[in-house]
Amino acid sequence: MKKNFCFSLILLIITFVCSGLVLADTDPLPSWNDTSTKKYIVQFVQTVTNPGSDDYVEPEDRIATFDNDGNLWIEQPIYTQLAFAIDRIKAMSPDHPEWKDTEPYKSVLKGDYSKLDKKGLLEIISVTHSGMTTEDFELIASSWFKTSKHPKFKRSYSELIYQPMVELLEYLRANGFKTYIVSGGGIDFMRPVTEKLYGIPPEQVVGTSVVSKYELRDGKPVLVKMPEIFFIDDKEGKPIGIHQFIGKRPIFASGNSDGDYEMLLWTTSGPGKTFGLLLHHDDAKREYAYDRKSHIGKLDKALDAASKNKWVVVSMKNDWKTVFPFEN
Amino acid sequence: MKKNFCFSLILLIITFVCSGLVLADTDPLPSWNDTSTKKYIVQFVQTVTNPGSDDYVEPEDRIATFDNDGNLWIEQPIYTQLAFAIDRIKAMSPDHPEWKDTEPYKSVLKGDYSKLDKKGLLEIISVTHSGMTTEDFELIASSWFKTSKHPKFKRSYSELIYQPMVELLEYLRANGFKTYIVSGGGIDFMRPVTEKLYGIPPEQVVGTSVVSKYELRDGKPVLVKMPEIFFIDDKEGKPIGIHQFIGKRPIFASGNSDGDYEMLLWTTSGPGKTFGLLLHHDDAKREYAYDRKSHIGKLDKALDAASKNKWVVVSMKNDWKTVFPFEN
């Protein structure tokens, strides 16, 4: 016991020395400009991790939740998951000759998405996201990310993630936070890539999901994705999903649209020190500029609520040195 | 960089030396008798954590799932959660004078549970588990565990957990496993106590749940528990819940009843080396003996399937040196 104690002490000392050197050497948020936004983030993290502070938070309660579309990866000109669904329709069309004469498939196959109303959208999502086992879908989604191409940037969607947010996730984790995605996007669509893109493992991804059905095939169990919604993780669904999946109230939440309003309010209404971050897409040159009038990622009610709730609005244009990892 | 590397190396060496000493000093499963069962468990853990083995599993894929009722804590003569519901009916009765003349309340208040059919049970569970905020329910559940008394053991239900299973959970975690509860019991009922009882944090508890409703009260958001089932985490629901909440297939699963059959099959049908554990309650002296004919924790189909699927059947009587923590 004494021996172990001695070793533990040495271990502890070395850990402190090492971490001191690392912190002194490097800026944890190099893609962020030195604006007040960066200062607020660092101040918050330093406060809640300082055992001497009245606002100290135990590591197990350092929960941070991040929206995904438009907050960690690009969402314009169409949601990444819709781009996937459209590509899947094209890939599946040889087995569906009837689609050539049936809307919405007919137009989608011609590259015309103007006729995609809500009903058509749901049909396309449903057809491409159900009828296969969860394991088959995982393979389909993973391989799509390798071949996908964004129309503006001509790069894979997996490259169109925000470098400053990746650094923020890493910075929070380095300070004992557990980082989660809480997204309106499909949970099975995100999970195959979140570890690689953001360092977030599947079990820390909360999202929208369809009903799964347990079946035996050749005596072996499979889970089949059904064309029926199980849970919508958007708006009020976000605090509900957080409660269901995490069971703790976050102390840090980050979003970029009205779909994140309830998650931010839930987070910053909690006891103790909290942080609400609202990413504002105001950089038409490096990415896109959109907010109140946008069909995708509409930011209106949440933007109005920011100052009252002391949410920090991040200007992509002014607060970010770089946007995408490939700029470095 | 060079400095950090050097420190890291020292750190690594000391870690190895320390862990070597600890392993040599102590038996990680002291409440287990030295039977073949214990040997199988240790062999499995040593194999999947040995980087030189063909069956090596990366730490991030070391997922272990445990049923709760009758597997981690006692489930006889009635489920712990039903004991809670009955106590709540008694505590709530002053505000419900009409219950004196209404079944099933009338009988329950008199201590007669013989008239509790399925409909009556559901009503009692519903009345005691909905209508309050998630935070209020957490307080109610936590405080019940402090005052509850088991009819046979005359101890709080929080003391009636299985010491060998607590050690198994710790042993798995010490070997890089992430341990989860996957239970038919209520997620909100278990979460307030699982960290203290088992070292399992709320975010690693999967269970049955009711619908939650997001509401604003005095401008602050709350989640209200509704009298409507959201998800039943039992039988086929267990692999489905595992997929929903964890998004990975476990390599180790432990249960004690037919409700765990699908979880065990799902786990041991996976690729690579897996472990299915089936706890058999055969110790009438120290706990209870029950299996095929029991109303609670019926173990029939799963027991028949054990040898075909190479699940390890644990005999409480022969494999466990002690049952409860207070025996030590």
At B328 the pLDDT is: 79
> Residue A60: its chain B contacts at CB < 8 A?
195, 201
Domain for residue A22, yes or no?
no
CA A208 – CA B300 distance, rounded (Å): 36
Query: DSSP code of A161?
Result: B
Which residue, B121, B147, B173, sits at the end of a domain?
Answer: B147
In this structure, the answer to whether residues A194 and A45 fall within a common structural domain is: yes
Residue A134: give the domain boundaries.
Answer: 80-147
The string of pLDDT tens digits covering residues B25-74 is 689 999 999 999 999 999 999 999 999 999 999 999 999 999 999 999 99
Q: Which of A21-25, A60-64, B40-44 has the lowest mean pLDDT?
A: A21-25
Residues of B whose CB is below 8 A from A220? 269
Residue A1 pLDDT level (bands cut at 50, 70, 90): very low
CB B277 within 8 A of CB A221: no
User: Looking at chain B, which residue has its C-alpha nearest residue A214?
Assistant: B236
Report the candidate in A93, A35, A90 with the shortest Cα–Cα distance to residue A315.
A35
Give, in order, the Cα–Cα distances in Å from B31 to each of B38, B68, B165, B199, B316: 10, 19, 9, 17, 11
| Domain shared by A202 and A96, yes or no | no
Per-residue pLDDT band at A8 (split at 50, 70, 90): low
Q: What is the DSSP string of B61-90?
A: G-EEEE--BTTTB---SS-HHHHHHHHHHH
In a domain, B322, yes or no: yes
* Residue A27 belongs to some domain of the structure: no
pLDDT, average across residues A18-32 = 72
pLDDT of amino acid A167: 98
Whether residue B22 lies inside any domain: the answer is no
H helical segments located in B179-322: 187-198, 237-245, 261-268, 301-305, 316-319
- A92 and A180 housed in the same domain: no
Can you give the pLDDT at residue A270?
Answer: 95
Last residue of a domain, one of A125, A147, A169: A147
Of A7, A201, A265, the CB nearest to B221: A265
Q: Do the beta carbons of residue A265 and residue A305 sit within 8 Å?
A: yes
- Report the CATH number that the domain containing residue B309 is assigned in CATH: 3.40.50.1000
On chain B, the residues whose CB falls within 8 A of the CB of A269 are 220-221
Q: How far apart are CA B182 and CA B196, in angstroms?
A: 17
Residue A202: is its pLDDT beyond 50?
yes
Do A242 and A279 fall into the same domain?
Answer: yes
Residues B130 and B241 in one domain: no
- Give chain A's domain count: 2
Query: Of A263, A275, A310, which is closest to residue A55 (Cα–Cα)?
Result: A275
Are the C-beta atoms of B185 and B69 separated by less than 8 Å?
Answer: yes
Please indicate, yes or no, whether residues A134 and A256 belong to a single structural domain of this protein.
no
Residue A194 has pLDDT above 80, yes or no: yes
Q: Are residues B206 and B313 in the same domain?
A: yes
pLDDT beneath 70: ranges in chain B: 1-25
Quick one: which of B231, B324, B222 has its CA closest to B283?
B324
Q: How far is B185 from chain A (nearest CA, A)?
A: 14
Q: Which residues of A touch B (CB under 8 A)?
A: 3-4, 7-8, 10-11, 14-15, 17-18, 21-22, 60, 134, 178, 187-188, 191, 195, 201-203, 205, 209, 212, 214, 220-221, 223, 230, 236, 239-240, 243-248, 262, 265-266, 269
Contacts of range B274-277, beta carbons closer than 8 Å, 24 or more positions apart? B274/B250, B275/B40, B275/B41, B275/B44, B275/B251, B275/B312, B276/B306, B276/B309, B276/B310, B276/B311, B276/B312, B277/B41, B277/B252, B277/B253, B277/B311, B277/B312, B277/B314
Q: Are residues B126 and B193 located together in one domain of the fold? A: no
Whether A224 and A130 share a structural domain: no
Instruction: State the best of B223, B301, B308 to mutate against chain A, taking most chain A CBs within 10 Å.
Output: B223
Listed in order, strand segments (DSSP E) in B86-232 are 178-186, 205-217, 220-231
- Let me know how many helices (H) and strands (E) chain B has, helices first: 12, 7
Contacts of A78 (CB under 8 A, 6+ apart): A86, A113, A296
Q: How far apart are CA B214 and CA B220, in angstroms?
A: 10
| Residue whose pair of structure tokens reads 């006692």 in the numeric block | B74
Among A203, A266, A269, whose Cβ lies nearest the Cβ of B246?
Answer: A203
The verdict on A65 and A131 lying in the same domain is: no
B195: nearest CA partner in chain A: A60
For A75, A190, A234, A308, B167, the CA distances from A297, given in Å and listed in that order, are 7, 18, 12, 21, 48
Tokens representing residue B209 in the block: 């749940």
Residue-level pLDDT at B177: 98
Does the distance separating the beta carbons of B10 and A14 come in below 8 Å?
yes
φ, ψ of residue B191 to 5 degrees: the values are -55, -40
* Residue for token pair 């896109």: A288
Residue B84's alpha-carbon distances to A9, B68, B90, B126, B157, in angstroms, are 44, 15, 10, 12, 10
A-chain residue closest to B60, CA distance = A201
> Per the domain annotation, does A54 fall within a domain?
yes
Q: Is residue B289 classed as helix, strand or coil in its secondary structure?
A: strand
One domain for residues A59 and A171: yes
Residue B241 included in any domain: yes
The answer to whether residues A160 and A74 touch, using CB atoms and an 8 Å cutoff, is yes
Residue A153 resides in a domain:
no
- Among B92, B114, B147, the domain-final residue is B147
Do A183 and A273 reside in the same domain of the chain? yes
The ipTM is: 0.91
CB-based contact B221 A21, cutoff 8 Å: no
Question: Once rounded to an integer, what is the mean pLDDT over residues A197-223?
Answer: 97
- Say whether pLDDT at A4 is over 70: no
Roughly how many angstroms between the first and final C-alpha of chain B, as a whole number?
A: 50
Q: Please say whether the dihedral angle defined by the alpha carbons of residues A237, A240, A245 and A248, taken in this order, is positive or negative.
A: positive
Give the closest-approach CA distance of A324 to chain B in angstroms: 26
Tokens at A225, concatenated: 């994705």
How far lies A323's CA from each of A165, B46, B68, B153, in Å?
A: 9, 45, 46, 62
B/e letters for A153-178, b = 16+ CB within 10 Å, e = fewer, are eeeebbbbbbbbbbbbbebbbebebb
Q: What is the mean pLDDT of residues A155-161?
A: 97
Closest residue in A to B213 (Cα–Cα): A240
Alpha helices (runs of H) in chain A, residue ranges in sequence order: 2-25, 36-48, 80-92, 105-109, 118-129, 134-147, 163-174, 187-198, 237-245, 261-268, 301-306, 316-319
Of the residues A10, A11, A62, A203, the best mutation for testing chain B's interface (the one with the most B CB atoms within 10 Å of its CB) is A203
pLDDT, one tens digit per residue, over A272-316 is 999 999 999 999 999 999 999 999 999 999 999 999 999 999 999
- Pairwise CB contact (< 8 Å): B248 & A4: no
Using DSSP's 3-state secondary structure scheme, residue A301 falls into: helix
Asked if the structure places residue B153 within a domain, the reply is: no
Tell me the average pLDDT across A113-122. 86
